Chains A and B, each alone.
Chain A
Amino acid sequence: AQTVTQSQPEMSVQEAETVTLSCTYDTSESDYYLFWYKQPPSRQMILVIRQEAYKQQNATENRFSVNFQKAAKSFSLKISDSQLGDAAMYFCAYRSAAGNQFYFGTGTSLTVIP
């Protein structure tokens, strides 16, 4: 069975600094999609960034980038120039290419220190 593991329940970062959130996953499939979602306190979850497994190039969205290591089944999120609004729970998620399997990790709570 596919699983998604986020080994850091909590992380903190100074404002304007860089932080990396870790995610590993287990799958026997070669084609799949990986996501990072952000859930601010008392607000809805929103997509931060997406990576297609067949693409070697790491996805980037403004201050957010990923380090996708397919062989190692690792998918970390780097947040550069951290802002107070980045404080949230971050979930890593896996979805199979067929779409019928979708798993979230347990989340990492990020605190941004002014």
Chain B
Amino acid sequence: DAMVIQNPRYQVTQFGKPVTLSCSQTLNHNVMYWYQQKSSQAPKLLFHYYDKDFNNEADTPDNFQSRRPNTSFCFLDIRSPGLGDAAMYLCATSPRWAPRDTQYFGPGTRLTVL
């Protein structure tokens, strides 16, 4: 089935050690999003790609970067994870940059920082 896949589902890293989270999609959607969801908080949009165009939310820390080498894959790089970066990271896609479009979410990667 067409879907949004996130690997790994659980990731443990050490304070300050770079980590990369992966997202892939078989929906052939133009837009891919990364959200950070901390415990008991609302998902917060970090950035999105419209095709190859990268769009950073104004308050996303510089510690977070993203790459989209092709339509299917998108990566979230955390250059120097801090304890405050422990969270669930959600990847989502949508067909177009249209506000009424449904977003299709992956199951998330839960990041633990030791």
Contacts and interface: CB of A to CB of B under 8 A. Distances in A.
Interface of A: 4, 9, 32-33, 37, 42-47, 50, 52, 91, 95-99, 102-107
The prevalent SS among residues of B at the interface is: loop
Task: Report the 5 A-B pairs with minimum CB-CB distance, sorted nearest first.
Answer: A99-B99, A104-B42, A45-B105, A44-B105, A95-B99
Contacts of B106: 44
Contacts of B70: none
Interface in B29-82: 40-45
Contacts, number: 42
A43 B107 contact: yes
Contacts of B108: 44
A106 B41 contact: yes
B99 A4 contact: no
B100 A44 contact: no
